[in-house]
Amino acid sequence: MSTLVFSHPSNDYLDTDSSEDVRAVHFVGSLPAALTGDHRATMQWFLDHTPDTSLTGLPCDPDPRWIIDWLDGLAAVDALEPNRTGASADYDDMPTYRLKDRRWLESEDLSLGRAAHTDAVMAARAQLHDDLDLPPHQVSIPNPYDLALFTFGSPSAAVTHLPVFRQAVLDDVHTIHRQHGSQVVFQLETPAVLATLDRTPRPLWPAAVRALAKQVARIFADGPREATWRIHLCHGDLGHQPLFPLTHLVPAVQFLNSLHKQLQRLRISMPPAHIPMCTGTQAPSTDLRFYRALRHLRRDIDVIAGLVDETHPKESRSALGLVETELDRPVLAVAAACGHGRRLVPDAVANAALACELAHHTTDTPAR
């Protein structure tokens, strides 16, 4: 499968089927709070810190903590009442809600406001330089299942209320695509997929993987068919701490293979997949066995390797070689395991610099 990534400042397309190995840099989206607020300056930061490097997209996320502002804002939704209060300092301090008696949610109650935000970003983007010189704007789209799970705090309640969350997300996606077309790419973001498998007994994985893949596939199927997507798997990064430990890559591989199968049935292209290979507290592994599961990943799934850890540059370099050895092909792009929103500004700068180095890094690894 041929996937295009984008260069700046010229409008060159790099084809991963070419004879020359090419890696891009992928930014999950968020930046430290000190670097956000001004959309033009936020996007310029990404451009300034990736000289002579291809980008998969140009993000401008509204919340350095992913969905925390949205989650706090649900307190104003008339149909909901607090089930647990919290300041979201960590995963044990997050608010959850319940539905009031004889009330129901409307999709407007749950809107992320991505359509209005994207309009504002695109207006600011025009101030950078000609749009033809820029990668497409990357729009962060949290998985509806994640939104429902964080809202209600339980998988059963999340599944019960999932349709209204799905509608809220799809309303934004369709509006954005209608307004901006190919100028945007959508990134579906979901720590809930891997978190659910982490909490599921191994014998039940096949059923859980199929259910999770069907849920995600339906988002792509119900969105605009011409839209460009990618998927960001995640271990969470609130307070720069993972929601659950990273022990191996088997869950990510099994989920992505199942999603690929679901999308094939629907005649929908499999989007590139960001796979987290480290966390805010765990360096990329330098043990080849950790990456062995990648041998079983479908060859036509483009991989964005989430292994750029500025506190462990040597391990990041080694990990890239091991990943490409097990995949038996170059990765589409390199990235951090999550966004930069929970980093200090100097750390975000260091991560971007390491990502650029790895994008141009020549790996020297043994053949499989």
Residue 6: the pLDDT is: 58
- Beta-bridged to residue 14, according to DSSP, are 5
- Distance CA(199)–CA(43), nearest Å, equals 37
Single-letter amino acid code for the residue at 20: E
What separation in angstroms does the CA of 344 have from each of 10, 227, 341, 349?
A: 31, 34, 8, 9
In 3D space, the residue among 195, 282, 280 whose CA is nearest the CA of residue 233 turns out to be: 195
| Alpha-helical regions (H) of 95-184 | 114-125, 144-152, 155-180
Please tell me whether residue 123 adopts helix, strand or coil conformation. helix
Backbone phi, then psi, for 81, in 5-degree steps?
-135, 155
Name the stretches of the chain with pLDDT < 50. Answer: 1-2, 9-20, 366
- What does the block give as tokens for 167? 């509608």
- What does the block give as tokens for 222? 């119900």
Cis before residue 9, ω within 30 degrees of 0? yes
Residue 329: the pLDDT is: 96
- Where would I find the beta strands (DSSP E) of the chain? 4-6, 13-15, 24-25, 58-59, 80-84, 96-99, 137-142, 184-190, 229-233, 273-276, 303-306, 333-335
247 burial via Cβ count (<10 Å: 0-12, 13-18, 19+): exposed
Residue 21: the pLDDT is: 56
- What does the block give as tokens for 233? 């798997």
- Distance CA(333)–CA(336), nearest Å, equals 10
Single-letter amino acid code for the residue at 182: S
Single-letter amino acid code for the residue at 326: E
- What does the block give as tokens for 339? 């966004």
Residue 7: the pLDDT is: 55
Residue 19: the pLDDT is: 34
What single string gives the DSSP state of each residue in 60-103? --S-TTTTHHHHHHGGG-TTEEEEE----SSGGG--EEEEPTT-
- Distance CA(49)–CA(46), nearest Å, equals 5
- Distance CA(317)–CA(252), nearest Å, equals 21
Residue 236: the pLDDT is: 87
Residue 223: the pLDDT is: 97
In 3D space, the residue among 87, 32, 24 whose CA is nearest the CA of residue 50 turns out to be: 24
